[in-house]
Amino acid sequence: MTDFRSNVSIVSSHAANEPTRVAMRQKDFGIWQEITWSGFEDIMHAVAAGLIELGMQDGEHIGILSENRREWVLAQFGINAAGGVVTGMYPTSPAPEIEHLAGSSDTTMLFIEDQEQLDKVIELRGKLPKLRQLIIFNPKGTVGETELNLKTFDEVIEMGSKALAAGVDKTVAARIAAITPERTAMMVFTSGSTGLPKAAEISHHNLSVAASLSREIFGEYPEGTNVLSYLPLCHIAEQNVTVTNALASKMVMNFGESLRTIIIDLREVAPQIFFGVPRIWEKMRSDLTIQAATAGKIKGPVTLYALKQAERRGAIRRDEWSVQDKIANAFWDWTVYRHIRSYLGLGRVKFAISAAAPISEDLLAFMRGLGINIREAWGMSETTGAATIQPDWGCSEGRVGHFVDGVDYKIAEDGELLVKGGIVFKGYYNRPDATAETIVDGWLHTGDVAEACADGSISLIDRKKDIMINAAGKNLSPSLIENIMKASPFIKECIVIADKRPYVSALVQIDMDPVRLWAESKGIAYTTFRSLAEHPQVVELIDKEVAKQNANLARVEQIKKVHLLSKELDHDDGEVTATMKVRRNKVFELYDGQIEALYA
């Protein structure tokens, strides 16, 4: 490990050593705009000075409620430079959830993206007594608005620049110098899948260690390597891949126009490193399957055959491929796979990562067979991001690979994974009870059930709290069953019911696009998601898909009955978290009648 350096000091070091090197790019109205490390440092200091001019005290908690954009990161570093703690919030959160996030973290100032986020804050008027200042990135439609002393981001920078010229630079320098390893740099909210989200305190030391680990994992990639930022920056995984890599190795942070333009942005940025949560990989496979199924009479069947062969070969470790496998892969890569990678915007990707949720083995095999070097990683907010990573092409016995150097682990008698090291967080803000339950004698109790493999790698079984015991006393992993079901292109979500039950059943949400195309090919009329999901032929389709996937499960794990959801699971309805993780207890509560009917 290297000596401690704060994230703020690293920016200044890069600015001093290579002032003209590009630090970040953002696409505005179709044009990529660049900011150098020198420009990054100047804006960071100006934001810090502007916040101080607005009355920010050392150690205050300052929130950011926005989609990914350069201003998010510029605000983040400005807050830290002013001695503050960053509290990131999901822009998709409805007002009641924002009330909890801002209130439980004692947020006093809040950067917001636009009028949409301003409207949510106005809805909470009088409910957040500690919140006294708003700063907006995109002020369009808010002219004349004065809610909570609203300022624009540009106004704060201008205010700070003038203050720096007038001598406030000494105050900023003093606050930067006061950053010590144990101080909190940011709060990252847990997913809240089983209750209200908790604010995990990440120290400057945690971030410094994470930067060192990043150099260990990505050290072979040169300075200037492109990374596309598109997953929420308030999530520790995106902070790891985008911000930490930029600091550790001078990689370039790229911010596209929106999540809707990700494929176009990927093609233009051509990143060498790409991080995707399982749902992103599932969407890519689904889109490819649809494209192949609707192609011409020759191109369609040939592509579908190539995709099937990709999955077959991808299921075999590359270091165990036969000569025949290597020859076949070379042929299909030249004729089909390289074009698919270019179509997905992954033509130059050498290191792909899947993390943040379990991913099915067949999906990993599919992507690897296409020539995408996808490696599973494991981590959590409480480990400041990634703690394990697979070798190239997933060549390890364990599903999530090996722990990085400097991180210790052990598996408790009940199978729970325990972790110790410099990446373990400080604790939950204002929750000493939860902290004491999670960190015991320096060991982080992760809540994940794991098993160690002979080569030193590990596999995760499921969340400890999610393990179900059926009526016969058999332990079942719902994640395992659900991921196998989601291998079907027609199934988007599967929520298993088995605890204290005589057999396994499930609530299933169809994947609208593939099911829609299938229905249209069969001449099935529909008008809404509900009318499609409830159509007898669609019900029959899903029953057949479940039966097909059941063949990959042990008899006791097989799903016997299914209820198709008549609507998509929704964050606003409390059915999923901001990261789209299913809130099982809430779903079980909302669909209690349908679940009981499965056992009638």
SS (H, E, C) 389-453: ECCHHHCCCCCCCEECCCEEEEECCCCEEEEEECCCCCEECCCHHHHHHHEECCEEEEEEEEEEC
Give yes or no for a contact between 485 and 559, defined as CB atoms under 8 angstroms apart.
Answer: yes
- Spatial CB neighbours of 177, under 8 Å, sequence gap ≥ 6: none
Tell me what the pLDDT averaged over the chain comes to: 95
Give the Cα separation of 189 and 383 in Å (integer). 13
When pLDDT is cut at 50, 70 and 90, the band that residue 67 belongs to is: very high
Give the Cα separation of 115 and 171 in Å (integer). 33
When pLDDT is cut at 50, 70 and 90, the band that residue 273 belongs to is: very high
Q: What single letter denotes the amino acid at residue 35?
A: I
- Start-end of CATH 3.30.300.30 domains in the chain: 469-597
Mind listing the pLDDT tens digit for each residue in 79-110? 999 999 999 999 999 999 999 999 999 999 99
- Spatial CB neighbours of 306, under 8 Å, sequence gap ≥ 6: 332, 335, 336, 337
Mind listing the pLDDT tens digit for each residue in 155-165? 999 999 999 99
Give yes or no for a contact between 47 and 62, defined as CB atoms under 8 angstroms apart.
Answer: no
Mind listing the pLDDT tens digit for each residue in 476-521? 999 999 999 998 999 999 999 999 999 999 999 999 999 999 999 9
Is the predicted pLDDT of residue 196 greater than 90, yes or no? no
In words, the CATH class of domain 383-466 is: mainly beta
Q: For the whole model, what pTM was predicted?
A: 0.92
- Spatial CB neighbours of 234, under 8 Å, sequence gap ≥ 6: 64, 88, 89, 90, 188, 189
DSSP letters, 446-480, are: EEEEEEE-TTS-EEEEEEGGG-EE-TT--EE-HHH
Give the Cα separation of 193 and 584 in Å (integer). 7
- Spatial CB neighbours of 134, under 8 Å, sequence gap ≥ 6: 109, 110, 112, 118, 121, 147, 148, 149, 150, 151
Tokens coding 169: 């630079």
**If you average pLDDT over residues 156-176, what whole number do you get?**
96
- Start-end of CATH 2.30.38.10 domains in the chain: 383-466
Q: Which of 301, 365, 370 is nearest to 342 (CA)?
A: 370
What Rg do the C-alpha atoms of the chain give, in angstroms? 25
- Start-end of CATH 3.40.50.12780 domains in the chain: 7-218
Cα 548 versus chain centre, distance? 30
Neighbours of 296 (CB within 10 A): 9
CATH code given to domain 7-218: 3.40.50.12780
Give the Cα separation of 112 and 194 in Å (integer). 27
**If you average pLDDT over residues 116-137, what whole number do you get?**
97
CATH topology of domain 469-597: GMP Synthetase; Chain A, domain 3 (3.30.300)
Is the predicted pLDDT of residue 111 greater than 90, yes or no? yes
- Quick one: DSSP state of residue 555? G
Q: Which of 237, 241, 240, 242 is nearest to 380 (CA)?
A: 237
